[in-house]
Amino acid sequence: MSSKSSRSLEDNDAQVQKATVKQHSEELKLIEDLLTQCRRRFTRLGSFTIGEDNRLGYAQLLLATRGFNSLHCAYELLQLGYYTQAMTLVRSTMEDNLLRWTLKNAKTL
């Protein structure tokens, strides 16, 4: 890909992001607040040591981490106008949360 076409894509993304932030600042602020709350909950978890006796907890932690990362990426994609890709990540996060809730009631992994 030539540097001129790369620059055009970057310019387009910047224009879309500027328009999105201008037109949807309240909605984006809500998402930012949600991500901030999620990050705060992670910091309260403390340390975690992997062991045979906490495999369920480890699986839940991995799913929660992946979900947070997916939501963060979705937020970035929304700002750039990649709505379908963002919604795909949101769906993946919701599926991970359903699995986490299922694991919460499981006896073993």
Lowest mean pLDDT among 29-38, 43-52, 61-70: 43-52
d(C-alpha 28, C-alpha 41), whole Å: 20
Q: Domain segments of the chain: what residues?
A: 3-104
What distance in Å separates the CA atoms of residue 68 and residue 56, rounded to the nearest whole number?
A: 18
pLDDT at position 109, please? 65
The pLDDT value recorded for residue 106 is 81
User: Which residue, among 77, 80, 98, has the nearest Cα to 88 in the 3D structure?
Assistant: 77
- Measured at the CA of 98, the angle between CA 96 and CA 104, to 5 degrees, comes to 100
Q: What is the pLDDT of residue 5?
A: 65
